[in-house]
Structure 1
Amino acid sequence: MREPKEILRRALNKWRLIRGAEVLVTGFAAGMSTYFLFSNAMVAMACFVGVLLVAMLYVKPWKYTLEHICSRVDETITPMEYSTALILANESELPLLSKIQRIRAGETLKRHQREIRFKNSLLPITGLSLIAVLGAWLLHVLGVFQIDHTATQIPGTDVVNFKRLDAVNNEMIPPKIGKQEIHIAYPNYTQMPDEFTTQMNLRVLEGSRVSWNIAFDQPLKGVQIQIGEDSLRMDFRNNSYSKTMVVDYANFYAIKFQDSLGKAYLSDLFALEAYKDEPPVIEIEGLPQFSSFDFEGPQKLAFTTQLKDDFGLTDVAIIATVSKGSGESVKFREERLGFDTKLSHGTKRQDFSKTLNLRELKMEPGDELYFYVEAIDNKQPRPNISRTETFFSVIKDTVTDQFAVEGTLGADLMPDYFRSQRQLIIDTEKLIADKPVIETKEFNFRSNELGFDQKALRIKYGEFMGDESEGGPVVTEVETVTAEDPLAEYTHDHDGSNEHNLVAEEHDHEDHANEGDEENPLEAYVHNHEDPEASTLFAQSLKSKLKQAMAEMWDAELYLRLFQPEKSLPYQYKALKLIQEIKNSARIYVHRIGFDPPPIKEDKRLTGDLKEIGNFSKDETLDNEDLYEGIRNAVARLEILLDTDMKITKADRELFNKAGNELARKAIEEPGSYLETLQMVKWLSQSENSTEQQLKSALKGLYQVLPKRQRLPYKDGRYDNQLNNLFIEALDVE
């Protein structure tokens, strides 16, 4: 019944699209009508978004489900006999008659699928929307809602205002700019056309060439453009002043000139913002961070890469490094690989695909591949380079080295499989967590497999303890079994089968001596490999802990075989703790190399003679650079000027100029926050006269720039009142 269900799903998606189209048409009509009525794109966009959200919440096209579709099908298609819901039902839970009816309903739905109809109002809404948009357009043409904006128009940034720097003379008419034009030539690699503007606040790309061309209505002595601390003279050509420079960083600038009488004027500050050429953006899909392959299977990595850049790409490649061998014999080979898709030079966005075949890279089992994608854009003279994170791929090595001890080599007391007990704990906890969602048969199977792994680990430890049999402990006495125990294969008899794992008592030697056996005089000096207690690779101090760990593994295996992993966990944790103690006890500690003091003379000891001992003293002054030294000095000077009504001197102007340079650096980092204060400080550094209001404004702005000092601890005088002072004086007199 897969095809009838697919028919219902397609019908549901169609219904949702129709309802969504109703909402979209309504919002579009509201936005267009608002735009024609008020001629404001922002208001129209806000109206479109608002109506769209309200209509979407009202219609809720996502609320329609397959059950609603079944109801519509039953209402519109009579031959369905109200049996559409059976198509969605689970066949295994239906009785025989319902199954037959379900098949009939599916065949009927296939024949009548074109007759499915939905309740919608798309056509009426579309008609009303067209009428509303046409009506709003007609009102716009007639000018019914047009507003005259000329009365409230604010001068833009293309209007340059100048201020006199000397005493004010109302009889003189100050010069004005007759024409201003700024030419912006972007770097050639961007392929962007030149831009002409009258706006004085500029935002250009780093490396762009900016040319100012300004004409005045009166002859002048000279015009300068002040950028930061530099003052550049503008050239006079064709009755206008011009200056060209390459913009490499953000700054502020102002226009300064002198009229024919030598009076100086200074303009407001304007922002010269320089944005950087962004490096390429690389997005990789369908590629895991780490992948491994079998030697016999396919060894291919397929992925797609999407590259984007603001001005264009020139090169993209895969930097791959193949490592062979291990240890000191490892070798690396680096290759630069191309994509299967050819790069279109200068493209700003392109998708690339690549299939890496490890066999073509001549990789063998155990070899590893490290690679990343690198992209270069067309920036000049130094391009931007981006790269992705490194991806790893390895071919599994089917040959592993087994640990062995030769007669001339020392024993490795810390083999790799000491860490496998932790993995058993992790797998057991995962099995316990998966118990509610898996079947009992699978749960029992996994628990039994973990028991087998626990047994394999215990046997490995047994090899280091000298056990030569992998079937379990060796029983020295034969016991009579009266009844077959079904759990005998999985249980652990602590009273019998584990006797060889117990630590021998000291009186055992006395018992053997009393049995009349002849004592071997070389027994204390030889290493008997036939004795399991002596054939071990560990010292006697580690033997008891390892035996105890093996005993815990026996109990852990028992409960895993009984399908009770919850009870097995405590024993596994105990075994892991013992293994960690063995690991720590097997560490080697070396003596720390440090200062070895000279020996003490016995005749000088405890005499208290300090004549030959000199004191050590060191005086050092640490210079802490003050980033706001000029601003602090300017604040102090402004406070004096406000209190004494003194005039600004040449030294004051130099001080304010230094403070303005410090403030400009901070204004570039936070554009818009300190521009007004910077303008006021700039005015004070160039002006010969100032008003009290200008000094107060500059002082207030500079106070806000200074960072707050950390308050130091001081004596609190809240308990130092007159009564306490009189009481202390009386005590002093007495």
Structure 2
Amino acid sequence: MTARKPSLQQQALRLQNAARRRAALDTLAIGLPLTTGIVLLCLRIFGPEVAAAVAVGLLLATSITAAWRIRRLDRAWLVARLDAGAPPLEDSADLLFRDPAALKGFAALQRGRLERRTDALERMDLRPPWSRRPIVSAVLVGAAIGLAAAIWPSTQPVDAGRRVTPHSAGAPKVTRTRLRIVPPAYTGLPAREQPALDARAPEGSRIEWVIDMAPGPDAAQLVFPGAAAVTLARRGGGWRGATTLTASTLYRLEAQGLERQRLHRLNAVIDAAPVVRIVEPDAQLVLTRPGQTRWTPVFEVTDDYGVAPGAVLRIAVTRGEGENITVKHRTLPLTGRGDGRRKRFSVTLDLAREGLAPGGDMIVQLAARDNRAPAPQTVDGPSVILRWPSAQGLEGGLDGMVRQTLPAYFRSQRQIIIDAEALIADRRRIGADRFQSRSNALGADQAQLRLRYGQFMGEEAEGGGAGGIALPTNDAPSRPALPTNDAPAPAPAAAEADHDHADHDHADHDHAHDAGPPAFGSQMDVTAQFGHVHDTPEAATLFDPGTRDTLRQALNAMWGSERALRQGLPEDALPYAHRALELLKEAQQATRIFLARTGANLPPVDLSRRLSGDRDGIVGGAFAALPDRTADATAADVWRALQERPGPTGPLRLDALDRWVRDNRGRLQDPLALTAAIDTVRNEPDCRPCRARLRALLWTALDRPPPAVQRRTAPDARGRRYLEALQ
């Protein structure tokens, strides 16, 4: 059974592909020898980096040329060559590449006749001839360039990046440096290379050096002050060495015959510990809501390189009251969600299953770690407390009093103004209900602050006020102590300056006696009959009448601010709040003037000794001499010696300064920079920028002297004559 012959169309396409392959090979035969020779020469002169770049460029040019030659051999070229070289096709080769179904009439008849002539293209060859002369020339030129690169004389001037032979005449010099930094795997940072020998890398990174020197020395090493040296080995025409960076350090390249090099610096970036932040709830102490059965705390952990996927949640549940408190501890493993450097950990806790009961606390704390290897860093986050108040604590008692007086530690008149302005700015971003709630809460703070200042005017309680505290009137002192975490302030000015005010309401307290006869058993009636009255400004304060009037106006302004805030009008409250702040400042100044007038007792001025120059009895004695700070005397002497001045300069005590840096390393901000600058000035004493840098570093390292009174300099002859004339 004979194989079926391919059609004329298939034979024509086969001839076209053969021609294209010939054109590509012909281009490569010309370009590859030239590329090889040029790359070898660049490798010899400029090094592997330049040679690789040149090779890529030449190969890209050769490929573009081959593609251009192949593209020229298209369908039009094929039809023209078939019509010119195949007479049996009768100049109808174009019909072979048309769709037979679209041909009609004479064209279809001619296509059928051509299909029967299967032997028309058997002996035909459309491949272009080899470019023999260009190929031979390219091979000869490439060989000549490669031979020139091989016999290039080693005594030629060495360029900055040129590879040199290790046995050249003369003192060795550094021609090229490469520093490769391989960070630890847990950081996820890629390896990088740089030509500079100063570097900043994560702690635990592997540092690799490749140093070329011409001519090559017999031995080379990297010397680290206070640590073992790294011996460099000669491999591949360069000197190579490696070490692990454990701490920031200085080092120097040393080789036989090599001039003394400057110190280089490696900065080790310490891996920071992870940071744990509370996302939910927004406070570290929260109270249970009525009917709450579950609680979902959410923590967020961030780290500079990566957070471990797992963490541990510590849970402590307290039960009981007073001294009969029991604590149950347990741990719960959690899995975080998020990317490598930021993960969130959350868990839903069943309050009944955890054993939380009224009067108890549930304390949760997240212990997270990073992915540092081999020893991860573990950090305990902030604790969050969920408190279930007891029924007794909600009705009254110490817990209730603490909750009522707690805002007194966080509010001041200036803070109320700031919060009111912030509330006005947030009006568009929050709802009406939220706006009204915040304004009402701010009004409650204003009321509590008003009552605190009212204590200085004899006011103690406010009947029916929101958030008011009824204080006992029988045993209360005439000057009630302020509930602050600082010492009690003697005046409202001091309380305002500390920004630590207690807030109490006293609305309508000034008019309590004008409201008519009190009811039977009322607090005012009992006080008037059986107690002592100290709720009037004159009986409860020691201020002068002007200060009491100023403080009373401030309380009235606070009442206007409170009224507007309670109504949800913070814009109307701001004028009253500013007025109250101004009056408080005025009371502060008046109080200080009043106290100064009563306590000052200055001696009379003796006008008979005026302009006489007699100082007997008016000078208390000479000031005590300041102790000499000999600790920084060495650094100060070198700093003065480094000052640029005309004429010869004195010797620099660099060895003593180096010892001073070692002795004071703990308190210096950057001792490595000082050590490197000292070494540079020692090796290059004529380098003015180096001296200026050392002087600048010394200025920042010296301790500032304490302020002192300078003695007056001795007068000259003219000054002495003037003083004698005065006497």
Q: TM-score range by the shorter chain?
A: 0.3 to 0.5
Normalised TM-score (structure 2): 0.42
Normalised TM-score (structure 1): 0.42
